[in-house]
Structure 1
Amino acid sequence: MLEEQFSRLIRESAMTWLDARPREQVDYAWLSTFEYEGQRIPLMDRQRGIRKPASMNAALSMRTVFTKPGDTPPYADAEGKDGLQRYKYRGDDPQHSENRALRRAHEDGLPLIWFVGIAASLYQPIYPVWIVGDELQDLQFALALDEGQRLITPGTSVSEDTKRYVERTTRARLHQPMFRARVLSAYKSRCAVCQLGHVQLLDAAHIISDSKPHGDPVVPNGLAMCKIHHAAFDSNILGVRPDLSVHIRQDILDEIDGPMLRHGLQGMHNQKLTPPLVRLAQPDPGRLDERYSEFLAH
């Protein structure tokens, strides 16, 4: 009981520390500086995917490594039919020490920190998450991303309302943060339209909305945009042609107003976007064509 209380205190302290992190994404070097009552406790293991400090009986964190666009991930973490996220075992031995450490966190109902790779050696922390199911036959654990998801029994049929709730929560707590992090990383934290480089003023814009077919939260379906250009894109004031050139709607080009309109929008007409250098991270031409047709229809 004392160990479990100690474990909970460390977790609360670690998550509070992460709340105050200076950057949205983190790396091993920074995560290794966490201390609890004068004791240094790195939050990520350099070699292992699952972190269980020697002073604890259960896992503290887990990691999903970054996979380059077009590559196959080493572990096929995915959602189940119940909408809950899955996390694959380490290897195919359920009794591997790392799997036992996660199983202990499940048995004790302890929250975990999930570090999801968004670039080489760079991670987005997602927390708190809980293990709510141990699916031995599939060599995986079922995860809950909030308290509400903890009430769902993994592998069971759920109502449409419940499934929509699970999907909304997963989108808000996992897909959207990861989409933003990966898109901004691919574009080197600069607006593709105007090259503004202040990350606080940048968004990851979906080319195809995530409510539509082909609206997957993947980098080729995203554009890094400052907030003014994102809003203009979403409201069909600004369109992007498949050749990556910007089209400003004619009524906006004809309007007379202040410097923001003149330089921020009108001045962008027929300018080329600046895409990522990595080809597989560049905007998908098919999605751009579909979205540009929608822009022209307005």
Structure 2
Amino acid sequence: MDSPGEAAVREQIMGWVAQRAEANGGFLHREELLDFHLAGERLPLIDYSRGIRNPAAFASTLSIVSSADGPYDDTESDDGLLHYAYRKGDPWSGDNRKLRNALESKSPLILFRKEVANIYTPVMPVYVVEDYPEERSFIIALDESFTFLPDVTHLSTAQRAYALRLAKQRLHQPAFRTRVLVAYETRCAVCHLRHGSLLDAAHIVPDSHERGVPTVNNGLAMCKIHHAAYDQNMLGVTPDGTVEIATDLLAEVDGPMLKYGLQEMNGHQLTLPRKRTDWPDRELLAWRYERFAGRDSVAG
């Protein structure tokens, strides 16, 4: 069982991670995770080379790293739960023992999703809810409520739907934001604003649509005002990356936000990622631009 002191330290660490991630735009850099200090002492929040962090003074695991191209087969199941493979070595000692302690104590962990090199998206808190020795894996859930279920392997229809909704909100959407903002170097593609906490990853084709895949070429880094305008078809982007503002907005007379924030963006070219493979897909831009043009013609 974790001590009250360890629980308090976990809470303090998670508060810091949340604050830093929000300032950056939803993610943290490897060096700041390795250089974390608490009460004047260095306490790395990830391991230098392993996908698990078990501080010596902790009874249970502090954090785990999930990476698509990592050395372990960590996979998301079709019910929204994460299967986290045993670490190397004896399944009943070392890293695996401290993960098992987290299961028994229901201790909250931090899941760091490594989407690109040296960039980590935090998902927290997460919980170890089951141990599968026969397949050498633990089951990780994204909500504390799953720790109270007697059997997470047989979820009801409602429980499965809830787990999948959580996975979309807490895994997929933050990971998409990280990949897009990193590709655009934490900068609004329309106005160049660089404050990560004020930036979003806008879907070109909405994620509710069958073509709305969470890939960088279906995303645009936008500040919150331009994202909102894009979602409302007040701002459009042509297939060649030219920004257009709706005709009725161009005719309005209002304060400086409308004038400088929107109207003066008309005719600007998007600032694109350095890597051409990260550029927005022209076909997806064309699909979305048709919706903007249709709204603009009706408004006009």
TM-score normalized by the length of structure 1:
0.83
1:68-111 per-residue CA deviation (whole Å, 9 max, x = no partner) reads xxxx5655544323222333334697458433432332233222
Moved more, 189-198 or 243-252: 243-252
Per mean C-alpha deviation after superposition, the further-off stretch among 271-280 and 78-87 is 78-87
| Alpha-carbon distance, 1:34 to partner | 4.1
- For 1:219-234, what aligned pairs fall within 5 Å after superposition? 219-234=216-231
CA contact (8 A) 2:34 2:45 kept: yes
TM-superposed CA distance for 1:52, in Å, is: 1.2
Residue of structure 2 equivalent to 1:170: 167
Distance 1:227 1:288, change over 3 A: same
156, 159, 165: which one aligns with 1:158 = 156
Aligned equivalent of 2:287: 290
- Number of aligned positions between the proteins: 291
Partner of 2:54: 52
Cα distance in structure 2, aligned partners of 1:62 and 1:170: 17
The one-letter code of the counterpart of 1:294 is R
CA distance, structure 1, for counterparts of residue 79 and residue 49 of structure 2: 32
Q: What do you get for the CA RMSD once the two structures are aligned?
A: 2.9
The alpha carbon displacement at 1:257 in A equals 4.1
Among candidates 24, 28, 31, match of residue 29 of structure 1: 31
Tell me what 1:11 maps to: 10
Displacement of 1:206: 1.3
Partner secondary structure for residue 54 of structure 1: coil
Shift of 1:248: 2.3
Distance 1:286 1:75, change over 3 A: farther
1:249 aligns with 2:243: no
Shift of 1:137: 4.8
Amino acid corresponding to residue 76 of structure 2 in structure 1: E
Aligned to 1:201: 198
Where 2:290 maps in the other structure, the secondary structure is helix
SS at match of 2:58: coil
The alpha-carbon distance between structure 1 residues 194 and 60, as it changes in their structure 2 partners (threshold 3 A), is same
Q: Are 1:142 and 2:144 counterparts? A: no
Over 3 Å counting, the alpha-carbon distance change for 1:289 and 1:99 in structure 2 is: farther
Cα displacement string for residues 248-286 of structure 1 (whole angstroms, at most 9, x for unaligned residues)? 223333444444334432332332211111223222233
Q: Percent sequence identity over matched residues?
A: 45
Letter in 1 for 2:224: K
Q: Normalising by structure 2, report the TM-score.
A: 0.82
Instruction: Tell me which amino acid in the other structure corresponds to 1:191.
Output: C
Q: Which amino acid aligns with 1:196?
A: L
Whole-angstrom CA distance in 2 between matches of 1:96 and 1:287: 50
Contact 1:34/1:43, CA 8 A, preserved across alignment: yes
Aligned partner of 2:125 in structure 1 is 128
1:45 is displaced (CA, Å) by 0.9
Q: Mind listing any 5+ residue stretches in structure 2 that lack a counterpart?
A: 296-300
Output the CA distance in 1 between the equivalents of 2:171 and 2:104.
Answer: 24
1:179, 1:218 within 8 Å by CA — same for their partners in 2?
Answer: yes
Unaligned runs of 5+ in 1: none
CA contact (8 A) 1:183 1:204 kept: yes
Bigger RCO (CA 8 Å, 6+ sep): 2
Displacement of 1:9: 4.0
